[in-house]
Every structure is written in structure tokens, then in C-alpha cells.
Amino acid sequence: MLLDVREQNEWNLFRIPNAIHLPLAKVSDAAAEALARFPDEAVVVYCGHGPRSAQAVELLRAQGFKASSLAGGIAAWIDAGGEVEQ
């Protein structure tokens, strides 16, 4: 399961298909509700380049989620030829 923690304006530009959007500022308060339909799935978190996703991973792990960060963020995803949608 992919979780995009970028801001709304960044999400509006492009995103990885099928990702869930939850800005970093809302991860602590809204993660349980946003991810409730994926209780046993590992969460791969991404942002633009990596720092925000690393913070989100710490917050998610503290709540008991299996989470990791997409190295290099969506920028690395695009550089590697990964698909994005607008």
C-alpha cells in the first residue's frame, strides 16, 4: 500500500497510481482512519525526495503499522521510469 505524504498542491500535480493521500501534518491524527481498510498491509510512504516520508514512517511505526520509506521519493520513482497519474 502506497501512502503519499506530500501537501495537497503537490498531490494535485501528479501521484503514483492507487496511492492514498495523507499529508504529513495529518499522519499522527488520521493514519488509523485512513489506513483502516489495509490493517495487515505494509505501508510504503513517499514524499518528494524522502525526508517527510522518513518522518511519517516513524509516526506510523509508533502506531503499530509496518511502514517503510520509498528511497528518493516520487522523484526517484519517476527517474526509474515509474508510472504517475495526474
- Asked if 47 is an active-site residue, the reply is yes
* Residue of 5, 19, 43, 47 marked active site: 47
Q: In 3-state terms, what secondary structure has residue 72? A: coil
Gap between the Cα atoms of 44 and 67, Å rounded = 6
Asked if residue 68 lies in contact with residue 45, where contact means CB atoms within 8 angstroms, the answer is yes
Which residues participate in catalysis according to the annotation? 47
